[in-house]
Chains A and B, each alone.
Chain A
Amino acid sequence: MWVKQISVFLENKSGRLAAVTRLLADHGFNIRALSIADTSDFGILRLIVNDPAHANRVLKEAGFTVSETEVLAVEVPDRPGGLARVLDLLHQAGINIEYLYAFVSKAGENALVLMKVEDLQRAVDVLSAQGITIQGHDVVHQI
């Protein structure tokens, strides 16, 4: 039900992001979505790629610090208020969102938003009950 995200520890110095993306390109991975959380010293690059287990291995072998995290891929209607409704539902259910970022491409008519929440299963239940589609990795990694 949820999607595997890869996180990479990056020092804040020039060329590190280029190095990761070059490595993934050389191995034929397609980056589906990404975001960076940064502090003054370091950043965490979060990636959705087509074959996360393989990408994880490749990055580790190249000496990067990598971890895998499970996140939700939530379909959000691509119109004003689409995201607000989803977030309201989670808020009412008392589920905190640690971070979220959006997919570059759409799933049909809907935008796709990636969310890291405290309690994945409960978030899925809350949102599904309201007719919101959660995409699994079989779909997401192939978009």
Chain B
Amino acid sequence: MITHPAPATTPAVRTAAPRPAPAAPRPRRRARPAAYRTLSRLLVVIIVVAQVYPLAWLFITSLRTEQDFASGNPFALPSALTLDNYARAFAVGNLGQNILNSFIVTMGANLLIVVLGMMAAYAIQVLGFRLSKLVRGIFLMGIIVPVQIALVPLFIDYSKIGLLDTYQSMIVPLAGFALPMSVYLFSSFFEYIPRETYEAASLDGAGPYRIFGLITLPLSLNTVVTVVLVNSIFIWNDFIFANTFVLTEGLKTIPLGLQNYIGTMGKTDWTATFAAVCVTVTPLLLVFLVLNKAMIQGLESGATKG
């Protein structure tokens, strides 16, 4: 979708910027970048529209009547708006239960990711020990390990110890596979806490536990927000672990619940499905829109430090 405008940019970049004569660089550089800027502004608009339009279309479709959707141009504005689809969405599936389950799994996994990630980073980066480099490496390796490797072994282990079809069966691997990134983000942040801070606290008689609670924890709240937001996106939308380890209707999270809308009788109720999608996306979307500045900043600094 985005590729169409993309190839056009390279020649545009080239032609829009002839070399300014070294003797009089100023006036020339003013004129050309203006054209360049208009062009790039236009391109950005096109790309963003192409990027966001499918989502807008999804939302509009959720407000269409069924007949309107079935007969007609997909780009047309709806002839009438209706909330019937939302009523049907709630009537057909277990949306409430699905959302609750997703909340429980997201909260549980996030708690583990933040607390355990911070503890490991504290041990590695602040306390330090002889093999800390090795342990850090073992954690970092996890960033590139694909989750598929754990599906069969965990399925076997879970069925042995009776953990199959529980919240924990989703929370543990979700947390485990997110830990490496969390350890990485926390330990790169801890590097920036100056040694003097710890020395001062130590002189006041604080031990490692109090320093963790009174200095490290409060200072890293921003990183906590980043870690929680980024992971929430992945966990809220996790499909593969839930699809593998959840067997009963009552434990289904949102991604599994949404599948109920795909017609068992062959015909899918698309408008109701899209209404359900809109409902399930809303909580995450609200959090994202409210906190996106914090998240974007965290992502940017986290990635560029490394």
Q: Do A and B come from the same complex?
A: no
Which A residues lie at the B interface, using CB under 8 A? none
Residues of B at the A interface (CB closer than 8 Å) are: none
